[in-house]
Chain A
């Protein structure tokens, strides 16, 4: 493995790991605070218990998010010093703003998690709201930094030196709007559906506390469904944006190999060397029609640039299709949920625990949000290759001169695998405590919905 490949792999692995926790850090505070707010209004102890249970899981995930994020901040320098040397001053804005968002997030999360009894209920809900807002903001800021790599503006290069730096222009770069919106929806959709799926699983397996899990599914879907429904629209916006801004990335994600009218390509794989597609279903002209409202319109293809400037189209194309497939599946479940909710409100339809088909659908779609996120980032990042900063700096020119990078890559990979196993195990223990029938079939020692815990406030 070359050092460049090791560095790229380490970066990709660290980011793919961090994003899971980051997304949870954006989504879970919203879920917790909505549950707690509903409790505050209705005084139904089940809702308070829900907020507290979720808070415990979030505490574990947040800690891992914070440490893996710290690793990333250093890795930008450890792996890509040349990149940071040039890009640091330009993308300084989103990163320093993000720093303050982290501060407020961590401060108020500490209060939210540990001060249930120390501050008033109102102050507690307010702390939760601050966590939710600053979590969303930290996500938005860092995505602004990333979108700058896709659409670098706000500086001039004269004789190889970066001059005339305009940090605000860089932060609000042309790619920022589409990416931030898409990431926000992604975070709420993915967290919400994953949580709903876990609690739906409890209802399916049987639990002594159906009301608890039903409230959980409802609250999680309340956050997730709007995002799942809007995500394909936002994705369409992103796609058009990429087609304008990064035509070669677009060619890669669509599998559009030769400049000319572009077909909609579904399935199959791409032979990058010979520029051919295999085993794919194609609708000729469909992409040209979608993009330019003219099925004959010319769209740049992978062959529009020299080989050295092409991203690995095969991976990008597959990742894009995975994301879109997940997105369509999620939108379907979202529409189903909205329809169910509407029927229930009108007094017809089946109550949640009895509607087993629907519960099964929730369980099956539970991981799709996170799969779509990983796939989407693969499209964004690998689709940008060979550039680290589109059209300005090549990834291969940005890498550190430090040799033997495979060692830290393997080391961090092992470390993160260990963390992932441990986090999964701890979360599973927390979930079992909510009175789910464990896999062995023994009922956990839960007494009843009302006496199992005591509300101290």
Chain B
């Protein structure tokens, strides 16, 4: 029943592994954009406007590209594991719909705020929608992941259940919500850490350093809580995370990177902190993936058993490889243009307005 200890490399496993990598990219890139929204909501103090401006400038050019990682995961899911996709989107209809509302509101409110020239009150309203949606969406994303990982939506249960039994109870669990909270804390940590590097004034950098540290505390607390709840409610996850040397290695790496990141933040070694926080987030994602391996739909459907025909997997992987060869240089170029400080030619921490008129 429980997670296998042997890693197997077959085509379906390679595809599943690629999906995990795409999710990792989504967390590291788009996660930080959501986290930025959270810090927009929590902006306070004398430099409130500067903080918001920095966040908006950091997200503006990149969020749409970062967001495509999620679409890629969805496409790989329905192409390569169609039965899993059909099942998961049926049983999680309610939370997925809520998440979509969050995605829509986050993206459009962010854009409306940047382009609304009608003045402060309206911009503030859009800012509010943007930041609340940024808070809500990661929580629901985490809830969906937690529900799947815990094996709460098994594939062959009959349909003779009430609406609530089938479509609500499986995901309204303390464990799922703690995974949601962990996702949110992690996204906030990523954002705050990246922003220490992007900040162009020492004060603002210090603001985000403090925020990163508090997010780190939140991640640690919620992670511990999640593990505790897993022991109670999600035996599969708990077992996957705690047994076998690979699992212990993953947990150990997570802890070590959390430590390195904290020390780096305390000593203001921001570049190191960024790398360490990225590694921490990646190891959390990989820990989740490992905890449910070899099942794609816990508790009993494996990656192998749900895979699409071989021709589809081959073609999809070929597209992914060729696509990645185009994609990676493009992303590097994007980040080189926008994320390297020496190329920034706008004095940007000015509190003037959120309308970053990029002309």
Residues in A lying within 8 Å of B, measured CB to CB: 52, 56, 59-60, 62-64, 66-71, 73-74, 76-78, 81-82, 84-93, 95-100, 102-104, 106-111, 113-119, 162-168, 400-404, 408, 411, 415, 419, 422, 426, 429-430, 433, 453, 456
Contact = CB atoms under 8 A, between A and B. Distances in A.
A70 B70 contact: yes
Interface in B64-121: 64-65, 67-68, 70-72, 74-76, 78-80, 82-83, 85-90, 93, 96-97, 100-101, 103-108, 110-112, 114-118
Contact of B108 (A74, A85, A92, A422): A422
Contacts of B263: none
Contacts of A86: 82
Contact of B68 (A102, A403, A419): A102
Nearest to A69: B71
B65 A110 contact: yes
Contacts of A98: 75
B312 A89 contact: yes
B218 interface: no
Contacts of A81: 85-87, 89-90
B86 A106 contact: no
B359 interface: yes
A400 B68 contact: no
Given A81-B86, A118-B343, A104 B330 contact: yes
A59 B315 contact: no
Interface stretch (B146-154, B250-258, B267-275, B318-326): B318-326
A70 B93 contact: no
Interface string B302-342: 00000011011001100110010011001101100110000
Interface residues of B, number: 68
Nearest to B359: A52
Nearest to B100: A71
Contacts of A97: 319, 323
A118 B338 CA distance: 8
Contacts of A63: 64, 107-108, 110-111
A128 to B, nearest CB: 14
Contact of B115 (A56, A73, A87, A103): A56
A68 B105 CA distance: 10
Interface of B: 60-62, 64-65, 67-68, 70-72, 74-76, 78-80, 82-83, 85-90, 93, 96-97, 100-101, 103-108, 110-112, 114-118, 159, 163, 167, 308-309, 311-312, 315-316, 319-320, 323, 326-327, 330-331, 333-334, 337-338, 343, 345-346, 358-359
Given A62-B64, A63-B64, A103-B68, A89 B308 contact: yes
Contacts of B86: 77, 81-82, 84-85, 88
Given A77-B85, A84-B82, A96-B75, A402 B93 contact: yes
Given A92-B315, A107-B331, A401-B159, A76 B78 contact: yes
Contacts of B82: 84-89
B193 to A, nearest CB: 22
Contacts of B333: 107, 111
Contacts of A419: 104, 108
Contacts of A100: 319, 323, 326-327
Contacts of A68: 104
B68 A60 contact: no
B312 A108 contact: no
A73 B71 contact: yes
B308 A115 contact: no
Contacts of B64: 62-63, 66, 106, 109-110
Contacts of A67: 103-104, 106-108
A287 B118 CA distance: 55
A422 B115 CA distance: 11
Contacts of A422: 108, 112
Contacts of A84: 78, 82, 85-86, 89
Contacts of A426: 112, 115-116
17 contacts: A60-B112, A63-B64, A63-B107, A74-B74, A77-B85, A88-B82, A91-B79, A92-B316, A107-B330, A110-B65, A114-B338, A115-B337, A118-B345, A400-B89, A402-B167, A415-B101, A430-B115
Contact of A165 (B65, B89, B312, B331): B312
A379 to B, nearest CB: 27
Q: 4 smallest A-B Cβ distances: which pairs?
A: A77-B89, A92-B79, A81-B86, A88-B82
